[in-house]
Structure 1
């Protein structure tokens, strides 16, 4: 979001007057907001799918998600996987909050308010975001089901 970065990009990309700095900052704020939502949906989806595949009725069909230590040289367990994933998710949430505070302090831009304003301006985007999130979560479960480390 720094002006000097914007100037370099504007020169290289030949943006001219079509893409002023204020629009550039708002677009980066939107991008960061969407990235945070994608991170949270992905981590929540991963935790849910691993739990469903571990405890669900189809467990015998997915030996990777049974987490039997004797079958694995790395001794992965369900508890370890969930704890490590939650720690990674927590670090993403903390870093997201720090970046939001830095952006608010350095560039006087509130990322959350920008997203809320966009949702008010374009209310039809909200159900589309929900549908895209569901689609991504479906792709995740199919990817997890097809994992084969042998």
Structure 2
């Protein structure tokens, strides 16, 4: 969001009056919101699918998700995987909070406010984002189901 970065990119990309600095800042803010949404959906999806594949009725069909440490040289366990994933998620949330605070403090740009304005301006985007999130969660599930470490 820094003006000097904008000026460099404007020079190399040939941006003129049609892409002012304020538009650039709003675009960075939107991109950051979408990135955070994707991170949170991915972590939540991973934790949910991990738990479902470990405890669910079809768990016997997914032996890798039984986490039997005695058969594994790395000693992976469900609780260890769950804790490590939650710690990573917490670090992502904290870093997001820091970056949003820096956006607000240095660039006077409120990512949350910008997102709400976009949702009011383009209400048809909200169901699309929900559908895209569901699609991403399905991809996570199918990716995890096809894991084969043998």
For 2:133, the equivalent position in structure 1 comes to 133
Structure 1 segments of 4+ aligned residues over 4 angstroms from their partners: none
The aligned runs of 1:26-37 (5 Å cut-off) are 26-37=26-37
Deviations 1:67-91 (A, max 9, x none): 0001110000000000000000000
Give the Cα–Cα distance (whole angstroms) in 1 for the partners of residues 107 and 149 of structure 2. 46
Give the Cα–Cα distance (whole angstroms) in 2 for the partners of residues 10 and 115 of structure 1. 24
Give the superposition deviation at 1:17. Answer: 1.1
For 1:12, the equivalent position in structure 2 comes to 12
SS in 1 for 2:57: coil
For 1:98, the equivalent position in structure 2 comes to 98
How many residues align? The count is 150
For 1:147, the equivalent position in structure 2 comes to 147
Across the aligned residues of Structure 1 and Structure 2, the Cα RMSD in angstroms comes to 0.5
SS in 2 for 1:16: coil
List gaps (5 residues or longer) in structure 1. none
Deviations 1:2-39 (A, max 9, x none): 00000000000001111110000000000000110110
For 1:72, the equivalent position in structure 2 comes to 72
Give the Cα–Cα distance (whole angstroms) in 1 for the partners of residues 52 and 90 of structure 2. 21
SS in 2 for 1:32: helix
For 1:89, the equivalent position in structure 2 comes to 89
